[in-house]
Chain A
Amino acid sequence: MSKFDLSRRGVLKTGAVAGAGLALPTVFTSGASAFTNEPGPGSVTLGFNVPQSGPYADEGADELRAYYLAVEHLNGEGDGGMLNTFSSKVLDGTGILGRKVEYVTGDTQTKSDAARASARSMIEKDGAIMITGGSSSGVAVAVQALCQEAGVIFMAGLTHSNDTTGKDKKANGFRHFFNSYMSGAALAPVLANAYGTDRKAYHLTADYNWGYTTEEAVRNSTEAMGWSTVEAVKTPLAATDFSSYIAPVLNSDADVLVLNHYGGNMVNSLTNAVQFGLRDRMVNDKNFEIIVPLYSRLMAKGAGANVKGIFGSTNWHWSLAQGFTTPDGTAVAPDAASAAFVKSFGEKYGFPPSQAAHTCYVQTILYADAVTRANSFNPCDVAAAMEGFEFDGMGNGKTTYRAEDHQCFKDVLVVRGKENPTSEFDLLEVVEVTPAEQVTYDASIFGGDLGTCNPGA
Chain B
Amino acid sequence: MDGILLQILNGLDKGSAYALIALGLTLIFGTLGVVNFAHGALFMLGAFCAVTLSRIISLSYETIDPNRLDFLGNPAKINTPYVYDFFGPNMGASIIDWAVPLSILFAIPMMMLIGIAMERGLIKHFYKRPHADQILVTFGLAIVLQEIIKFYYGANPIPTPAPAALVGTFDFGAMLGLNPGTVLYPYWRLVYFLFSVVLIGGVFAFLQFTTFGMVVRAGMADRETVGLLGINIDKRFTIMFAIAACVAGLAGVMYTPINSPNYHMGMDFLVLSFVVVVVGGMGSLPGAVLAGFVLGILESFASTPAATSIVPGINQIIIYLVAIVILLTRPRGLMGRKGVMEE
Contacts and interface: CB of A to CB of B under 8 A. Distances in A.
Asked if A pairs with B, the answer is yes
Interface of A: 53-58, 231, 233-234, 236, 238, 240-241, 243-245, 247-248, 250-251, 264, 267-268, 271-272, 275-277, 280-281, 298-299, 301-306, 318, 321-322, 342-343, 346-347, 351-352, 422-423, 425-426
Nearest to B262: A264
Contacts, number: 135
Contacts of B7: 244, 247
Contacts of B264: 55, 264
17 contacts: A53-B155, A58-B154, A240-B259, A240-B268, A244-B10, A244-B14, A244-B299, A244-B315, A245-B303, A247-B6, A247-B10, A275-B188, A275-B258, A277-B168, A304-B159, A342-B71, A423-B70
B186 A275 contact: yes
Nearest to B6: A247
Given A267-B260, A352-B71, 18 more contacts: A57-B154, A233-B305, A241-B258, A243-B13, A243-B14, A244-B7, A244-B14, A244-B300, A247-B10, A248-B305, A250-B181, A250-B183, A280-B169, A301-B156, A301-B159, A306-B159, A342-B71, A425-B71
A268 B259 contact: yes
Interface size bucket, B side? 35 or more
Nearest to A352: B71
B63 interface: no
B304 A347 contact: no
Contacts of B262: 55, 264, 302
Contact of A343 (B72, B157, B181, B185): B72
Interface of B: 2-3, 6-7, 10-11, 13-14, 68, 70-73, 76, 150, 154-159, 161, 167-169, 181-186, 188-189, 258-260, 262, 264-265, 268, 299-306, 308, 315-316
B71 A303 contact: no
A351 B184 CA distance: 40
Q: Which 3 A-B pairs have the closest CB atoms?
A: A304-B159, A244-B303, A57-B155
Contacts of B168: 277, 280
B276 to A, nearest CB: 15
A422 B301 CA distance: 42
Contacts of B258: 241, 271-272, 275
B268 A276 contact: no
A449 to B, nearest CB: 31
Contact of A322 (B71, B305, B308): B71
A241 B259 contact: yes
Contacts of B189: 243, 275
A29 to B, nearest CB: 43
Nearest to B5: A247
A272 B259 contact: yes
Contact of B157 (A268, A280, A346, A352): A268
Contacts of B157: 264, 267-268, 302-303
Nearest to A351: B71
A244 B298 CA distance: 10
A276 B303 contact: no
A277 B168 CA distance: 6
A346 B150 contact: no
Contact of A303 (B14, B159, B181): B159
A37 B6 CA distance: 60
Contacts of A236: 315-316
Contact of B3 (A54, A56, A248): A248
Given A58-B154, A244-B303, A276 B260 contact: no
B229 to A, nearest CB: 46
A234 B307 CA distance: 12
Given A244-B304, A275-B258, A276-B169, A302 B158 contact: yes
Contacts of A276: 169, 184-186
